[in-house]
Structure 1
Amino acid sequence: MRSAGLDLVKWTAIVTMVADHLRYLWPAADGLFIVGRLAFPLFCLAIAVNVGRSPAGSLFTRGNLRYLGWMLAFAVLSEGPYRWLDPATQTLSVIPTLTLGLLVAWGVRHPQLPARLIGLGALLIATLFGAQVMYGLPGVLLPAAWLMARNRGSAAWLLPCLLAVAGNLTNSWLFGHLTAPFTLLTLAAATLAIPIGSRLLRCDHRPMPVVGKWGYLFYPLHLLAIKGLQGLL
């Protein structure tokens, strides 16, 4: 069943992601980086909700395989635009992180051995290639942490907050300037993304425009659009 709250989460993630990437047009707009810290945890929440919708034990369904296929396809398609926009980057785009996070969340959700092995394999990849994975191992764990928090509640919400913070500390500048006001504001935004996402998800009282399959295509296209605008400014 369509969830207006989930669409609101996705729209908020998209808007804050675009705001963050607008720094490539206006490098002096540092505050956009802080706003952008909401995007990744919200995308992870969307994954957790989708994983939680499938009954435990029903891993190899057409819907799940199609979901993984879309993620893998756009992980490949997005890498060129991502590196064209930011040639100095040391990491892959965010989609491989989300894809590995999906596999780990499957391992948490589904009790059968293949699901556990898939999840462990994703964790191993994130551990071995953490320097190339955006947000590192904490980012890969975040969708599963969201899933656990939604199922258990209470103190379990602390885990996604900690992982959202830890994922941002894979940024070498932030890690090297822990007490700088900019770092503190960034980490505060990452932490607040968790309760904000939880609240947005409950906003089912009014219809929202649907974020459908076009959401996958939006990621590489908006990177290309920003790169194109760079040449005009």
Structure 2
Amino acid sequence: MSLHTRDTNLDLIKWLAMLTMLLDHLRYVWPDTEWLFIVGRLAFPLFCLGIAANVARSQSGALYTEDNVRYLGWMAAFAVISELPYRLLSSDSSTINVMPSLLLGLLIAWGAHHRGRDGFVLALAGAAVAVLIQERLMYGVFGTLLPAALLLAIQRPGLVWLLPAALCVMANSRNRWLAEWELQPFTLLIVAVAFAAPLLGLLLLRRPGHFKIWPVKRWGYWFYPGHLAALHLIRSLG
């Protein structure tokens, strides 16, 4: 499929990623909805799947293209733009916003897809940065490897699908609920949803047929900082 051909399955995945992220963050405004954190475990792997699907649709070896430059530019810009609203909503967070994790994941996925010296250097650089800022990186090093693992799962359906599922669990392993609650029902649900999220996304991506859905274009970049700022405003007014 051409990079410029809309994939309605991919648009559906993006919508689900944004919706589950929004539901997850409602707990910052209404603390009694902490259980929505479980639903939110779907968001990050679905965003990673969106990255993997976009990389998979590009021609292998064609790394230095205008599309890739724009893609990288938008990701980098919103990694910066999103930090202030993220910090306002989650001032006690020990990590930076999620966009740098996705950005590094994109670099590593590009390295896996566009093989050769340049691809290897790109992936190595992305992984090295992830290791260096591991403590400040949302979902840590495992999270940055998830887009590349999902790319491999797209290209080789089957048991390989278990790789992103396992990585997703490990990416969530630093979460305070897992550390503090140990093997309680709540934490078991977190692990189960984290494991299932990449599998669900891959199934949706492969589903046959077409349907009408509002496409998620570049306005989708604004959803992340925009919803963070809106929730901060709602909490402030409350």
Q: TM-score, normalised by structure 1?
A: 0.97
Q: Per the alignment, do residues 173 and 32 of structure 1 end up closer, same or farther by CA in structure 2, a change over 3 Å counting?
A: closer
Task: Please state if 1:94 is matched with 2:93.
Answer: no
Of 51, 55, 61, which aligns to 1:51? 55
Structure 1: gaps spanning 5 or more residues: none
SS state of the match for residue 101, structure 2? helix
Q: Bigger shift: 201-210 or 72-81? A: 201-210
Q: Residues of 1 paired with 2:91 and 2:198: CA distance?
A: 31
Q: Bigger shift: 135-144 or 151-160? A: 151-160
Kindly provide the amino acid, as one letter, of the partner of residue 165 in structure 1.
Answer: V
Of 161, 165, 168, which aligns to 2:165? 161
1:205-230, Cα deviation, whole Å (9 max, x unpaired): 21210001001011111100000000
Task: Please state if 1:179 is matched with 2:183.
Answer: yes
Task: Please state if 1:75 is matched with 2:102.
Answer: no
Kindly provide the amino acid, as one letter, of the partner of residue 30 in structure 1.
Answer: E
Identify the residue that residue 138 of structure 1 maps to in structure 2: 142
Kindly provide the amino acid, as one letter, of the partner of residue 160 in structure 1.
Answer: P
Identify the residue that residue 155 of structure 2 maps to in structure 1: 151
Q: Residues of 2 paired with 1:153 and 1:212: CA distance?
A: 27
Give the RMSD, CA atoms, in angstroms: 1.0
Q: Residues of 1 paired with 2:125 and 2:143: CA distance?
A: 15
Q: Residues of 2 paired with 1:158 and 1:139: CA distance?
A: 15
Matches within 5 A, 1:176-215: 176-203=180-207, 204-215=209-220
Q: Residues of 1 paired with 2:213 and 2:133: CA distance?
A: 38
SS state of the match for residue 62, structure 2? coil
The offset of 1:202, in angstroms, is 3.0
The offset of 1:173, in angstroms, is 3.5
Of 29, 34, 38, which aligns to 1:34? 38
1:74-131, Cα deviation, whole Å (9 max, x unpaired): 0000001100111111001000000000000001001121121011011011112111
Kindly provide the amino acid, as one letter, of the partner of residue 114 in structure 2.
Answer: H
Of 218, 225, 230, which aligns to 1:220? 225
Identify the residue that residue 125 of structure 1 maps to in structure 2: 129
Task: Please state if 1:25 is matched with 2:29.
Answer: yes
SS state of the match for residue 131, structure 1? helix
Q: Bigger shift: 112-121 or 64-73? A: 112-121
Kindly provide the amino acid, as one letter, of the partner of residue 19 in structure 2.
Answer: V
Kindly provide the amino acid, as one letter, of the partner of residue 55 in structure 2.
Answer: V
Identify the residue that residue 8 of structure 2 maps to in structure 1: 4
Identify the residue that residue 120 of structure 2 maps to in structure 1: 116
Q: Residues of 2 paired with 1:65 and 1:176: CA distance?
A: 42
Aligned residues: 233
The offset of 1:176, in angstroms, is 4.0
Task: Please state if 1:15 is matched with 2:2.
Answer: no
Q: TM-score, normalised by structure 2?
A: 0.95
